[in-house]
């Protein structure tokens, strides 16, 4: 698994983990993210059970276990958080931030130790070592209880499945040519995102944020003008389409 620094200042660093060459071919490639401050770490969508040991090893490259105090699950999917039972044993002191809607479902993955912080529908702000992270509602995109993470200091939006692309596991880290990237995203968004209304609400909400980098859970990261290009493209896209579209 590769580890990349996406953004860094004196107080905090954003890491991206993914593009694991040793991952089983049968499971979808995923991007995991972490914000590390001086004394704490906030882990986002730490991934499935299959990649737990590699992911944990990569996290321990940048942070001791006792500093992993916050884990965030954008929604309930297995590629997002089926490793929960293992994180629960590895960092029992940590808090899990996840949609209130999924609390009794997520606990099926095994959660005896960690505290479940149920995110209300309107979202919340989490303070880590003075860094404020906003948990932004993204309901029905694609899950009925869904959140993204916005960091106003680094101007990064961790956008879960929004912006995801299905492509080769060794694809470049960043979108290089937006137009040629569209075919890799279109089918995924049309099929997986069920609601045009939810999509438009989200676009409006996200347009109000100052974003330099948009980081999805699959595929490449959007930066600079490509963030706006993505929002324009997504806004005009008809979603909730079930026929073959790609």
Partner 1 sequence: MTSRKLQKTQNKAYVALAKISRELYLATSKAQEVSLIAKNARALAVRAGDKVLGFKAITDFIDDLATSTIQLARQINKQALDIAHMAAEVQRKEFGLDQFQIVMEHPEATHANSITKVHDALKRDVLERNKEQRKNLNILISNLNDIQQEIRSAGIIALNAKVESAKSPEYQASLDVIADDILHSTNQIKERIDRSQSIIKNI
Which residue number, 70 or 189, has a Cβ lying nearer to partner 1?
70
The least distance separating partner 1 from the CB of residue 42, rounded to whole angstroms, comes to 16
Which residue number, 41 or 162, has a Cβ lying nearer to partner 1?
41
What is the distance between the alpha carbons of residues 135 and 99, in angstroms, rounded to a whole number? 10
Burial of 226 (0-12, 13-18, 19+ CB in 10 A): buried
Which residue number, 82 or 159, has a Cβ lying nearer to partner 1?
82
Which residue number, 64 or 236, has a Cβ lying nearer to partner 1?
64
Which residue number, 5 or 120, has a Cβ lying nearer to partner 1?
5
The least distance separating partner 1 from the CB of residue 40, rounded to whole angstroms, comes to 14
Residues found near partner 1 in the complex (CB under 8 A): 3, 52-54, 56-58, 60-66, 85-86, 89-92, 110
The least distance separating partner 1 from the CB of residue 131, rounded to whole angstroms, comes to 21
Burial of 215 (0-12, 13-18, 19+ CB in 10 A): buried
The backbone torsions φ and ψ at residue 120, rounded to the nearest 5 degrees and listed phi first, read -70, 160
The least distance separating partner 1 from the CB of residue 58, rounded to whole angstroms, comes to 6
The least distance separating partner 1 from the CB of residue 9, rounded to whole angstroms, comes to 22
Which residue number, 8 or 61, has a Cβ lying nearer to partner 1?
61
What is the crossing angle of helices 196-207 and 225-236, to 10°? 150
Which residue number, 51 or 198, has a Cβ lying nearer to partner 1?
51
The backbone torsions φ and ψ at residue 96, rounded to the nearest 5 degrees and listed phi first, read -105, 120
The least distance separating partner 1 from the CB of residue 92, rounded to whole angstroms, comes to 7
The least distance separating partner 1 from the CB of residue 148, rounded to whole angstroms, comes to 28
SS3 content of the chain, % helix, strand, coil (to 5): 30, 25, 40
Give just the sign of the alpha carbon dihedral 147, 134, 82, 159: positive
> 99: Cβ–Cβ under 8 A, 6 or more apart, which residues?
73, 75, 76, 118, 119, 143, 145, 146, 147
Q: Got the DSSP string for 43-54?
A: EE----GGGHHH
The backbone torsions φ and ψ at residue 106, rounded to the nearest 5 degrees and listed phi first, read -60, -30
């Amino acid at each position: 698994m590769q580890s990349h620094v996406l953004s860094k200042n004196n107080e905090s660093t954003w890491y991206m983990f993914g593009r694991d060459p040793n991952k089983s071919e049968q499971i979808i490639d995923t991007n995991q993210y972490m914000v590390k401050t001086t004394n704490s770490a906030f882990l986002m969508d730490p991934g499935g059970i299959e990649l737990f040991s590699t992911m944990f090893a990569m996290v321990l490259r940048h942070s001791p276990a006792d500093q992993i105090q916050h884990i965030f699950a954008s929604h309930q999917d297995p590629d997002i958080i089926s490793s929960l039972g293992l994180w629960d044993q590895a960092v029992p002191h940590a808090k899990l931030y996840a949609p209130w809607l999924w609390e009794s479902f997520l606990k099926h993955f095994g959660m005896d130790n960690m505290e479940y912080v149920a995110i209300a529908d309107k979202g919340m702000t989490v303070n880590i070592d003075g860094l404020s992270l906003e948990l932004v509602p993204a309901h029905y995109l694609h899950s009925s209880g869904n959140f993204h993470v916005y960091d106003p200091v680094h101007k990064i939006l961790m956008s879960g499945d929004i912006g995801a692309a299905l492509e080769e596991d060794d694809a470049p880290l960043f979108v290089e040519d937006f137009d040629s990237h569209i075919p890799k995203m279109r089918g995924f968004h049309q099929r997986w995102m069920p609601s045009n209304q939810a999509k438009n609400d989200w676009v409006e909400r996200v347009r109000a944020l100052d974003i330099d980098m948009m980081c999805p859970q699959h595929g490449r990261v959007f930066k600079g003008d490509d963030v706006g290009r993505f929002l324009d493209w997504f806004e005009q896209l008809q979603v909730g389409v079930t026929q073959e579209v790609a």
